[in-house]
Homo-oligomer: A and B are copies of this chain.
Amino acid sequence: MSPKRRRLQDELKQTRPFRSPAAEATVAIVKTADVLKRRLARLLEPYGVSPQAYNVLRILRGANGKPMATLEIASRLIEQAPGITRLLDGLEAKELVRRERCKDDRRQVHCFITPSGLEVLRALDPALNEAEGLWATRLSSRELKTLIGALEKVRAEEP
């Protein structure tokens, strides 16, 4: 079917090689992220949860029952505020998330994951871990460390 381990240059059928390793890395990062997102979306599809919605649920589970304001969730995602509101609307409609206006500061809205939300996450966990482990075994732990460190440097702001 499809050959594995093609070089990115081959994958993109580029006639000329990349002008610089940095250019190649840029394309590689964006393309890999897309592949990962698609894999995740495929896993989530049966549950009617989008990757972003899944991330929100994960964040709320990580809060361990503590209330979390809407914009606090946004800041942990790569998502702008307007998107979060509607994402939470959807999750609340499915009763995976509960929201209530905060007593102390009535501008804020506190969000919680519901038991159903936790259940969905629990049902997904094994498949997610498996998918992740699949490619992780192809990398040495040194490679993984370098990868994570290098990406950190790419994201770092201009000095």
Cα-based distance from A19 to B124 in the complex (angstroms): 15
Cα-based distance from A37 to B32 in the complex (angstroms): 13
Chain B positions within 8 Å of A135 at CB level: 22, 153-154, 156
Asked if A119 lies at the interface with its beta carbon under 8 angstroms from chain B, I say no
Determine how many copies of this chain the complex contains.
Answer: 2
Which residues of chain A (142-159) have a CB below 8 Å from chain B? 143-159
Kindly supply a per-residue 1/0 record for chain A positions 1-39, scoring 1 wherever the CB is within 8 Å of any chain B CB and 0 otherwise: 111111110001111100011111110111111111100
Kindly supply a per-residue 1/0 record for chain A positions 37-65, scoring 1 wherever the CB is within 8 Å of any chain B CB and 0 otherwise: 10000000000000000000000001110
Task: Specify which of B7, B21, B31 is in contact with A144 (CB 8 Å cutoff).
Answer: B21
CB distance from A159 to the nearest CB of B (A): 7
The reply to whether B5 and A153 form a contact with Cβ atoms under 8 Å apart is: yes
The reply to whether A157 and B62 form a contact with Cβ atoms under 8 Å apart is: no
* With known contacts A33-B32, A33-B33, A134–B158 Cβ distance under 8 A: yes
